[in-house]
Homo-oligomer: A and B are copies of this chain.
Amino acid sequence: MNEQSRNPVVIVGGGFGGLAAARALHHLKGEVILIDRMNHHVFQPLLYQVATAALSPADIAWPLRTLLRAQRNVRIMMDEVRAIDRSARRIELRNSEPVSYSSLILSPGARHSYFGHNTWEQDAPGLKTLPDALEIRERMLMAFEKAERLKGTPEARDELTFVIVGGGPTGVELAGALAEIGRKAMTPDFPVLHQAASRILLIEGGPRILEAFPPALSSRAQASLESLGVTVLLNCRVHDVTSKGVMAGSEFINSAHVIWAAGNVASPILASLGVPLDSSGRVIVGPDLSLKEDPWVFVIGDAAHCLSAQQKPLPGLAAVAMQEGRYVAGIIAGCVPEGQRSAFRYRDRGILATIGRAKAVAQFGPISLSGVVAWLAWCFVHIFFLIGFRNRARVMFEWIWYYVTFKPGARLIYWKDRRINPQ
């Protein structure tokens, strides 16, 4: 490490994993460079609340520079990684000179996978970033405006038909939030639209939604969604997506609003590593999260294919990424050589998913929770893990406000390219 240690530790991606790693390196003598395309860290588990107008972008995002301002050894670069040159040990960037590294932590995250049909993305946007969330929010709000104009026509019905593909936590939370906002917040603002004008369908390819949870909780979540008016289609595969709707199983569902929450594919920059990737584009890492080919290049978070103690790949959760980030930072800070590293072990603290107001499911080890108790646990955990007093106070205030008034605060249409022509 002596010769290398003149070069900085480079972290690619300021999500949960990258940020946790940067923070865990606060005692490191050398420089740490954190590179991200965006200037902010996003609390992804609440992104669906921005997409459904319950929260504002600034409620769940923080400038990376401010988060790491006090940490003198960290330098932030807002830039896009174009390639990783392992032989030269450096990163090529879009706008800056290449950056050399002594060790490298890759946490570039994942995008939605369209199963080889990338053209579907245009008609079925996913939800991974703030621009994604604002895109969905604007489409949802414009749908009601257009439906009112087109009242009584088949187009109006299609405008208010929302199809969500993928029954994981993102899909379930989006479906629940859309159903609630449609019925409780939007309908009173559009008196000419019929109460049941808005239809929400959740399409899942497998036999149950929330497959990471025990089957009993999946059924409870499904019942909660159905009580909100969501139609859940199980064992249903999407064969095509167009601007008119989706081909789901053998039926074509007319819908102007298809949202994609199915499957992930890891960041394309991993391909430049020249190492084996799994079918989701993730790097197959060793038990210490490093490349088999390079013990000082680590991959964490959604970009890593890492096996659990039960030999199953670890799930794409914030908790996994954060623990991985801290673990890798420990190896780097301690200069632990390859042969002396203990394997990474994920400590599962539980999983939660919310369906709507006072409706959620939670699994903490052997304990299954649902209903109000799970929902309160969900609220508590999400407030707790938000960064900083300001955002906790704002989000809590917004939730209480919404709970009491059913008037989500961020129902604004201002996306630039639609300003002139709201059609």
Contact = CB atoms under 8 A, between A and B. Distances in A.
Interface stretch (A15-23, A223-231, A306-314, A390-398): A390-398
Contact of A69 (B61, B63, B141, B188): B188
Nearest to A189: B65
A368 interface: no
A96 B149 contact: yes
A214 B103 CA distance: 63
Nearest to A411: B63
Given A135-B416, A190-B65, A409 B94 contact: no
Contacts of A94: 421-423
Contacts of A110: none
A40 B410 CA distance: 10
Given A56-B57, A390-B401, A419-B131, A412 B39 contact: yes
B57 A413 contact: no
A78 interface: yes
Nearest to A130: B414
Contacts of A80: 420-422
Contact of A411 (B66, B96, B390): B66
Contact of A415 (B56, B58, B416): B416
A244 interface: no
Interface residues of A, number: 53
B58 A409 contact: yes
A414 B413 CA distance: 15
A417 interface: yes
A420 B81 CA distance: 11
Contacts of A190: 65
Nearest to A64: B189
Contact of A131 (B95, B141, B188, B414): B414
A401 B397 CA distance: 15
Which of A391, A409, A421 has the most chain B CB within a 10 Å cutoff?
A: A409
A134 interface: yes
- Residue among A58, A78, A79 with the most chain B CB within 10 A? A58
Contacts of A145: 39, 78
A409 B397 contact: no
Contacts of A65: 189-190
A61 to B, nearest CB: 5
A66 B78 CA distance: 38
A38 interface: yes
Contacts of A394: 394, 397, 409
A129 interface: yes
A422 B95 contact: yes
A28 to B, nearest CB: 17
Contacts of A411: 39-40, 63, 66
A37 interface: yes
Contacts of A39: 141, 145, 411-413
A189 B69 contact: yes
30 contacts: A37-B422, A38-B414, A39-B145, A39-B411, A39-B413, A56-B58, A57-B412, A57-B414, A58-B410, A63-B189, A69-B188, A69-B189, A79-B149, A79-B422, A80-B422, A94-B421, A94-B422, A94-B423, A95-B149, A129-B414, A129-B419, A130-B414, A131-B415, A131-B419, A134-B416, A135-B416, A390-B409, A393-B397, A394-B409, A416-B417
Task: Give the 3 A-B residue pairs with the shortest CB-CB distance, closest first.
Answer: A65-B189, A58-B410, A130-B414
